[in-house]
């Protein structure tokens, strides 16, 4: 089984790209045993969506290109900290 850290990386990847079937299966398997990761994934998806909506509504094209990456890094750091804590 994958670790919480690996699961968080897959969750983060799934926000930007399609997971392979093996990755998706590994994440689903982990989620069955780890409610904390399911909870963190939901929070991450919510925040990520909010960031994107905010970027779409209020920023110039240049800002739009920059913000999602920065936002994602912050979210990943926060998620990693939450999983360790």
The residues binding Zn ion (CB under 5 A) are 4, 7, 34, 37
Q: In whole angstroms, how close is the CB of 40 to Zn ion at the nearest point?
A: 8
Identity of the residue, 26 or 59, whose beta carbon is nearer to Zn ion in the bound complex: 26
CA 11, 1, 77: angle at the middle one, nearest 5? 35
Q: In whole angstroms, how close is the CB of 67 to Zn ion at the nearest point?
A: 28
Identity of the residue, 33 or 74, whose beta carbon is nearer to Zn ion in the bound complex: 33
CA 21, 52, 7: angle at the middle one, nearest 5? 35
Identity of the residue, 9 or 67, whose beta carbon is nearer to Zn ion in the bound complex: 9
Q: In whole angstroms, how close is the CB of 36 to Zn ion at the nearest point?
A: 6
Residue 43: half-sphere exposure toward Cβ, Cα within 13 Å: 14
């Amino acid at each position: 089984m994958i670790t919480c850290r690996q699961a968080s990386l897959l969750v983060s990847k799934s926000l930007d790209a399609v997971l392979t079937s093996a990755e998706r299966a590994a994440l689903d398997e982990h989620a069955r045993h780890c409610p904390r990761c399911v909870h963190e994934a939901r929070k991450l998806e919510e925040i990520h969506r909010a960031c994107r909506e905010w970027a779409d509504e209020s920023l110039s094209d240049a800002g739009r290109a920059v913000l999602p990456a920065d936002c994602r890094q912050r979210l990943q750091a926060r998620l990693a900290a939450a999983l360790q804590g």
